[in-house]
Structure formats: C-alpha cells, structure tokens
Amino acid sequence: MTVDRNSIAVPKIVSLQTFPVRIPFADGGPGTGGTPSRWHMLDIVLIRLEDEAGNVGWGDAFAYFCLEAVKAAVDHMIAPFVTMASIDDIPAWNFDVQRKLHLFGRYGITLFALSGVDIALWDLKAKRHGLPLWRLLGAEAPTSHHAYASLVRYGEKDLVTRQCERAIGLGYRHIKLHEIAPDVITRAREAIGPGIPLMVDANCAWSVEETLALRDTFRSCDLLWVEEPVFPPDDYQAMAEIEAAGVRVGTGENACTAFDFNRIISNVTYPQPSMTKVGGVSEFLKVLAACKGAGKIPMPHTPYFGPGYFATLAMLPLMPKETLVEFLFVEPAAWLAATPEPIEGFITASNNSGIGFEANLDIIECYAVWT
C-alpha cells in the first residue's frame, strides 16, 4: 500500500466558516458614480478556516453589492472541496477547483469565492510554519512601497480639490481619481500641482473613440495611467489600440485567473490583479511571474480592507519597488483588524505570521449581516 506522507503531515481542515460583514464608511462625497446604487458600505465575506491542529487562516472574498451571493458560493460551491481535506499544494488545489466549477463561469462570483478561500489556505499554511507569508514565499525582508490615495468619484470640482488637498496634507505623493469629466480631472491636477503622479480610473465609462478624444486632457494633466477606460473591461484589443495612441493603460481588476491575465499583460503598461477576485494568492503569484517575464510593473487593485488587503501587502516583497499600493481614501466606521495604513505615503507588509490579519471578533460580530 502506498502512503502519501503529505496527507499525514498536513493537518485536515475541520471547519470553514463565513462571516458576512457590512461596514459603513464616510468619503465626504455623494456616494454615487460607477456603482449599482449609492456606495457607502464595505461589504465583505470573511472566511475562517481551522485545521485539526488548531491553526486558523483568514480570507476575504470580494463582495461589494453581492455579499449574499458570494457567501452562498463559498458555503455551497467551495466549502465541499475544503472541509476534511489536507491541502498543502494550494495552487494545485485551486486549479482543480477551477476545473470542477468551470461550468459556472470563470469570472465573477465563483472566482471571488475561490479567491477568499485560497487566501485563507495560504494564511493557514504560513501560520502552520510560523512565518509571514512573504517569508514562506521566499522573500528575505518586508519592503516599503509608495501608497496612493484612491479617491472615490466626487463628480464636482471643489469637492475633488478639497480631497486632493487633504490627501497631500496626509503625506500622499500619488493620487488616483475616479472622475470622468475632463474639467474635474484638470482641476485635480491644478490642486496638487506638478510632480505628484496622478492616475484616472474611468471604471469602463468610455468607448475607444471617447477615450482617444480625451488625449489632450490626459497629456496636459500628465497622467501616469488611465485605468479601465472602456467597456467591456475584457476588450483587450481596445486597450492595445489606446496604448498604441500613446495613452498608458492600467487594467485587470475585473479579470479572473492568470490565464485571463496573459491576454492583459501583453496589451497594457500596468496589469492590475485584484487579490480577492483573480483567484487568491495562488493566481496572483502566477500573474506576478508573468509580469516579471514581460517586464511589466504590476499595480494591484486593493480598495478593500479585509484579509485580501493584508495578503496583497504580503506580496509586496515579491513585486518591483515601483509597484504602488492602492489605499481607498475613505473612513470606515471600524477596522476588522489592526490594519497597516500608509504613513507619509508609504506602506509596508506585516511581520506577523501568515498574512498578518489578527481578526477583531467583536467588530466582526458588531457588523455582521445575517443572511
């Protein structure tokens, strides 16, 4: 009889729990823009794994405006592949689950759910080894990176001016807008002056023609990149056309799996994997490797504050020093854990074991959503 030593050495996972939470936030604006309705809540599906040795891992599945559906996907589609399993080769597990669930779509809620569980598995594995995740993955030391203030869409010149000035006052030296009106974008550049890298995220608002018609604004505002300019977000040929016209494009937050990213990386200057959407740490690592092979600088999407944010920070030592960290410029009513915030515009990964997410159970209970 053949004995699989790994299955003996790696403790079984004995529980998977989901904790849907909804945390209000303030952003100083009307809360309207590219979202289905007024955006003023951070919807998060937390995932807690525990193995038979008592180790605990936390993950976070993207769930803005789809919290109940994502929780159901984790509980009913992913959990059966986790409970009572011994999982050590997480990328292989992840790929196997993708194969088994492919008929439900390789984009959106299925992959959000898989991402959250994958993050929890990596957190659990690193904790089992007593190491920060970046150390488990071979990095020598945490690295410090520039963070940028990711402003929500205000749609109004004076509001944008005020928020840009506030961000500069807090020490940020990089700012991203979610504005689509040229006069508002121009006003932001005037407010921050030259020398501060500025980005614009359109959230797929334009066509190729509309994007190219704005080239003069992009040039005069000296934009580092234009993010998700066109709909649909997976029109990668459109991204290539915009790049060919001299506009640097960032995209990828709505792409799932490294396979999908292979089409992005060749077409845009800045690939933007999202930890809680792309397929978790396993797929994120593959995207990083592909970016490195293509000489591209990843600019991860991270406008969320759960374990997915922590896991992204844990990847920083594996990324180029030019990688910028997105920090959503809002004020949540509570933090799910002691959360690293940018200090004078810089941010560093945690030295704690795993992804560094030490859950505040009182806050989780306080902001729980009963589905």
Of 97 and 249, CB closest to Mg ion = 249
Q: What is the CA radius of gyration of the chain?
A: 20
User: Least CB distance from residue 72 to Mg ion, whole Å?
Assistant: 26
Of 97 and 226, CB closest to Mg ion = 226
Of 60 and 201, CB closest to Mg ion = 201
User: Least CB distance from residue 251 to Mg ion, whole Å?
Assistant: 8
User: Least CB distance from residue 249 to Mg ion, whole Å?
Assistant: 12
User: Least CB distance from residue 303 to Mg ion, whole Å?
Assistant: 7
Of residues 298, 328, 297, 347, the one with CA closest to residue 146:
347
Q: Are strands 331-332 and 198-201 parallel, antiparallel or unpaired?
A: unpaired
CA–CA dist 327, 324 (Å, integer): 10
Of 82 and 328, CB closest to Mg ion = 328
Q: Does 179 engage in binding with Mg ion (CB under 5 A)?
A: no
Contacting Mg ion within 210-269 (CB under 5 A): 227, 253
Of 51 and 253, CB closest to Mg ion = 253
User: Least CB distance from residue 203 to Mg ion, whole Å?
Assistant: 6
How many residues bind Mg ion, per CB under 5 A? 3
**Distance between the two ends of the chain, CA-based, in angstroms?**
46
User: Least CB distance from residue 146 to Mg ion, whole Å?
Assistant: 17
Stretch that binds Mg ion, among 52-60, 88-96, 201-209, 338-346 (CB under 5 A): 201-209
328 phi and psi, to 5 degrees? -65, 125
Burial class (CB in 10 A: 0-12, 13-18, 19+), 5: exposed
Contacting Mg ion within 36-75 (CB under 5 A): none
Stretch that binds Mg ion, among 106-114, 196-204, 276-284, 292-300 (CB under 5 A): 196-204
Residue 155, Cα to own-chain centre: how many angstroms? Answer: 24
- Interface residue with Mg ion among 27, 60, 123, 201 (CB under 5 A) is 201
Residues contacting residue 183 through CB under 8 Å, at least 6 positions apart: 157
Of 253 and 260, CB closest to Mg ion = 253
Angle at 260 between CA 146 and CA 323, to 5 degrees: 10
Of residues 111, 39, 159, the one with CA closest to residue 278:
111
User: Least CB distance from residue 250 to Mg ion, whole Å?
Assistant: 8
Of 123 and 201, CB closest to Mg ion = 201
Q: Which residues of 251-279 are buried (b: 16+ CB within 10 A; e: fewer)?
A: bbbbbbbbebbeebbebbbbbbbbbbbbb
Q: Closest residue (Cβ) to Mg ion?
A: 201
Burial class (CB in 10 A: 0-12, 13-18, 19+), 38: exposed
Name the residues that contact Mg ion, by CB under 5 A: 201, 227, 253
